[in-house]
Chain A
Amino acid sequence: MRAAGRGALFALLAASAAVPLGLLAVWSVAGAWFYPALAPSAYSAEAWRQVAGGDLAAAAGRSVALGAGAALLGTAAGLPVGRALARLAGWRRRLGAALAFLPVAAPPVALAVGTQLFFLRLGLGGTALGVLLAHTVPAAGYLALYFLGVFAAHDAGPEEEARTLGATARQAFWRVTLPALRRQVAEALALGFLVSWAQVAFTQLVGGGLVRTLPTEVFSYLRSGQERYAATGALLLSVPPLLALAAARVAARRAAVAGP
């Protein structure tokens, strides 16, 4: 590819990374920003005061708690399933992967409508616990697939050695396998958190509008034309994912340097 084309593509990538997030940052402090001005005519910290201790802070706190819960539950479900599936070969592994992929691929609205009455019957409709369990459904699917990949590439040698030396299966798992996979488990927890962190449809339908999280607040603000709050919430919503991405890139580079 010619240098000019590469330069243009690089500029496009830089703009795609910087413009959307930069625009959110400006809107988050815009007091008045009327068409066709290219910059706000007045600034306001009002939306950020909401972040410091208002609706946005409460919604963000709820999102963090739900994300942490879905990360733990999703990992607790996904790790053993992925590990078990990695022992299979051929069509059996394909079938297992397809089953784990289903909750990831199912459209959240369709899945929520199809399962909502189960939640209601269990008394979980409109509760944070119900929303947490709903978030765990796609998280467990993602993490089962993630751990299928991890264990398919994992060297089971040390674990088998420990078993030969008399360790029980449980001891071998907790004292040999898990410590060797510390980075992967941390990544899985981050992934599970992010799956929950982005959910809108499950939260709205299972939560019945009563469980308000950061993404559902951004959704409502945007629908009602409150750009400043929508932008502030959206910016806040981008922080953990970008930190996780940066951490994953650093960890991957370190792993590449240190060798397997």
Chain B
Amino acid sequence: MTDSRPALPLLAALLVAAPVLAGVAYSALGAVGLAGVGAEGFTAARLPRVLGDPRTWASLAWTLGTALAATALAAALAVLVAVAFRADRRLDRAARALAAVPLPIPQVVAASCAVLILGQSGLLSRLGHAAGLVPAPQAMPALVYDRWGAALVLALAWKEFPFLALVATSVLAARGTAAEEAARTLGAGPWAAFRRVTWPLLWRALLPSAVAVFVFVAGSYEAAALLGPSDPLPLQSLIRERYADLDLAARGDAYVLTLLALALAAGAVAVHEWAAARQEGR
């Protein structure tokens, strides 16, 4: 059934997107000093000031890098789970149920667990002490607030892998095992069958979901604020800090950063639709 008035549904969708479009428009006006906090008429000074600041790029690079690492880790774990437990036996079903547990858990809970497990006086450090490896909390390698964002990557990968595992499992279930069995019959080892048959199929089907995970992780605020370092600041924390600046003129700089963040999200949405269209078109 196709609509005779195809513009109407798109108008409805535009309504759902309206807050984002309003946010983009408002940030754009704010970035040139025409609206928002600290607006004093048109100024061309903000854009070069923020975009010329190395801290902006350090923050962006850090955020995208940790998001990429968390997405890659989540995807690897998801594929491993989907391939290892694809059958319909009891152990497979139990494993899939266990893998689903972190799926609906709020991000702030994941961050709390990360602090309690990975922090310098967390569970891991205590276990290390009991094993004689960690003499004192300071001797534990910093995973929380560290430059590498180890706890952030682990916490977000833990929270996001169940979604990708669900997608990967359903792709494999829909596809069946015939192609792999044929490859094995023709003499391919298990690793070759995975690399040549299962993986090419899986990654294409997983790509749209992986892009979605990447954009959630890159835009995450609470986990980054609770687990990330203060230098460089994660992008969302940088926006908050600028926006709360005591200097009103500096507050306006936050609009340049929100514009950047919203543009990145819109770009990711476009990539997501492209990947989904390519997958469906097959």
Determine if chain A interacts with chain B: yes
Most central of A103, A110, A156, A238 by chain B CB within 10 Å = A110
Q: Is A72 interfacial (CB 8 A cutoff)? A: no
Q: Is B273 a contact of A237 with CB atoms below 8 Å? A: no
Q: Is A68 interfacial (CB 8 A cutoff)? A: no
Q: Is B107 interfacial (CB 8 A cutoff)? A: yes
Task: Choose, from B40-48, B50-58, B109-117, the stretch at the interface.
Answer: B109-117
| Interface SS of chain B | helix
Most central of B1, B17, B212, B258 by chain A CB within 10 Å = B17
Q: Is B27 a contact of A105 with CB atoms below 8 Å? A: no
Task: Choose, from B5-13, B181-189, B199-207, the stretch at the interface.
Answer: B5-13
Q: Is B99 interfacial (CB 8 A cutoff)? A: yes
Q: Which one of B80, B106, B212 lies within 8 Å of A215 (CB-CB)?
A: B106
Q: Is B98 a contact of A35 with CB atoms below 8 Å? A: no
Q: Is A87 interfacial (CB 8 A cutoff)? A: yes
Q: Is A88 a contact of B126 with CB atoms below 8 Å? A: no
Q: Is A114 a contact of B222 with CB atoms below 8 Å? A: no
Neighbouring B residues of A197 by C-beta, 8 Å: 106
Q: Check A87/B258 contact, CB under 8 A, given A113-B27, A237-B108.
A: no
Q: Which one of B14, B125, B158 lies within 8 Å of A99 (CB-CB)?
A: B14
**Alpha-carbon separation in the docked complex, A13 to B77 (Å):** 10
**Alpha-carbon separation in the docked complex, A113 to B242 (Å):** 11
Neighbouring B residues of A244 by C-beta, 8 Å: 104
Q: Is A115 interfacial (CB 8 A cutoff)? A: yes
Closest B residue, CB atoms, query A136: B19
Q: Is B102 interfacial (CB 8 A cutoff)? A: yes
Closest A residue, CB atoms, query B7: A92
Q: Is A100 a contact of B113 with CB atoms below 8 Å? A: no
Q: Is B106 a contact of A107 with CB atoms below 8 Å? A: no
Closest A residue, CB atoms, query B266: A102
Neighbouring B residues of A29 by C-beta, 8 Å: none
Q: Is A98 a contact of B269 with CB atoms below 8 Å? A: yes
**Alpha-carbon separation in the docked complex, A76 to B106 (Å):** 24
Q: Is B112 a contact of A230 with CB atoms below 8 Å? A: yes
Q: Check A241/B116 contact, CB under 8 A, given A88-B2, A106-B20.
A: no
**Alpha-carbon separation in the docked complex, A108 to B215 (Å):** 11
**Alpha-carbon separation in the docked complex, A205 to B277 (Å):** 36
Q: Is B107 a contact of A198 with CB atoms below 8 Å? A: yes
Question: How many whole Å from B167's CB to the nearest CB in chain A?
Answer: 13
Q: Is A20 interfacial (CB 8 A cutoff)? A: yes
| Interface SS of chain A | helix
Q: Is A9 a contact of B16 with CB atoms below 8 Å? A: no
Task: Choose, from A50-58, A137-145, A169-177, the stretch at the interface.
Answer: A137-145
Neighbouring A residues of B134 by C-beta, 8 Å: 36
Q: Which one of A1, A92, A113, A115 lies within 8 Å of B190 (CB-CB)?
A: A1
**Alpha-carbon separation in the docked complex, A219 to B223 (Å):** 9
Q: Which one of B16, B100, B117, B219 lies within 8 Å of A81 (CB-CB)?
A: B16
Most central of B80, B121, B226, B258 by chain A CB within 10 Å = B258
Neighbouring A residues of B10 by C-beta, 8 Å: 88, 92, 95-96, 99
Question: How many whole Å from B169's CB to the nearest CB in chain A?
Answer: 13
Question: How many whole Å from B105's CB to the nearest CB in chain A?
Answer: 6
Q: Is B62 interfacial (CB 8 A cutoff)? A: no
Q: Is A92 a contact of B104 with CB atoms below 8 Å? A: no
Question: Would you list 27 pairs from A and B whose C-beta atoms are within 8 A, ordered by A residue?
Answer: A14-B98, A17-B101, A23-B116, A35-B137, A36-B129, A38-B126, A38-B130, A77-B16, A84-B12, A85-B12, A95-B13, A96-B10, A97-B13, A98-B272, A100-B13, A103-B16, A103-B17, A106-B20, A107-B218, A107-B219, A107-B265, A109-B261, A110-B258, A114-B27, A141-B16, A144-B13, A249-B97
- Known contacts A38-B127, A105-B268, then 8 further A-B pairs from the complex at CB < 8 Å, ordered by chain A residue: A9-B80, A105-B216, A105-B272, A107-B235, A110-B258, A114-B22, A140-B16, A234-B112
